[in-house]
Structure 1
Amino acid sequence: MILGLSVGAYTTLHVIISIVAILSGLVVLLAMDGNRRLPAVTALFLFTTVLTSVGGFFFHSKMVGPPHIVGVISLVDLAIALAALYLGKLAGVWRPVYVITATIALYLNVFVLVVQAFAKVPTLNALAPKGTEPPFVAAQGATLVVFVILGYLAVRKYRPTA
């Protein structure tokens, strides 16, 4: 049991929240690339990303491992993004700080999605059963390149008005 839910139910809830975080994050990132501000979708993205990062710590584990490290990095990154957006109000240096940290938060969610896809989807797992083989590395590399490009474009193009 995790927080009163069976492990299966908790896992399903965690996956649903993660998918909402990723989809809303993609909408936000693409909106920033188009210099559009979407406050409600942005709040949904940040909230569900915090939930998914915190929620990952409730899974039973005997030792600290890569998922915990990614979770801590994500939460620190999200704290900065939230401060830049809601305290700094995207003024001055807070604008690029927010765009970069929001992009990193979304990237980390997608990074974990790729890890889970290779671990759980039989066809992908057959290509990279250890998660270190070239198909896995290529998928993660391509994901990183896409987010670097989209993040760079967002930093250059996103100039929200108050």
Structure 2
Amino acid sequence: MMTYLQAITIFHTAISFVAIAAGFVAVAGLFRGGAYRAWTSLFLVTAIATSVTGFFFPFNGVTPAIVTGVVALIILAFVLLAYRRFRLVGAWRWIYAAGMVASLYLLVFVGVVQAFLKVPSLHSLAPTGAERPFQLTQLAVLLLFVLIGLMAAIRYRPVPVAVPVRREPSR
């Protein structure tokens, strides 16, 4: 029989992989005017679920994982506000684009940490996470996402969506 910890680990890991895959497609959509709405929705739902389920693990005190989860949820809240409440008008357009990229970055950042912890060949290169291979990998990931985030914030121009106009009935 599977324990609670095993079950939540499998679920959390699975939705993390889905969030990362959907996130790459959704971020690519930013460069096409947000053309991938279904992928974006899948990304947002799974990114939120990943962050929330991260709090279901047993922790003692505040850990880097908890801080990362809180930051991720704050970023996702701004992404949702930008999209749903402020309709990507003005500065909310670039807040949305940068937030999407930042949210994906945090998922990949944690993925790299987990890879160096769990994959034996990577773990042997950086057993404590303070070694140069780990640091250089995280730096490369950060620089790549900063570049993508800047480009997305500058270039993202959402495709206008036709909103039905409510008309009063004729008398």
Superposition TM-score, scaled by structure 1 size = 0.94
Identity %: 43
Task: Figure out how many residues of one structure are paired with residues of the other and give that number.
Answer: 159
What does residue 138 of structure 1 align with? 136
Which among 86, 91, 94 is matched to residue 93 of structure 1? 91
Deviations 1:85-118 (A, max 9, x none): 1111111111001011111111000000000000
Q: Are 2:106 and 1:112 aligned?
A: no
Cα-Cα RMSD: 1.3
Contact persistence 1:29–1:151 (CA under 8 A): no
Q: Which structure is larger by alpha-carbon Rg, 1 or 2?
A: 2
Question: After the TM superposition, which segments of 4 or more aligned residues of structure 1 sit over 2 Å from their partners?
Answer: 33-37
Q: CA deviation at 1:156?
A: 2.0
SS in 1 for 2:58: coil
- Return the alpha-carbon distance in structure 2 between the equivalents of residues 62 and 74 of structure 1: 20
- Return the alpha-carbon distance in structure 1 between the equivalents of residues 137 and 32 of structure 2: 26
Give 5+ residue unaligned stretches, structure 2.
161-171
Superposition TM-score, scaled by structure 2 size = 0.89
Contact persistence 1:88–1:94 (CA under 8 A): yes
What does residue 164 of structure 2 align with? none
What does residue 125 of structure 1 align with? 123
Higher helix share: 1
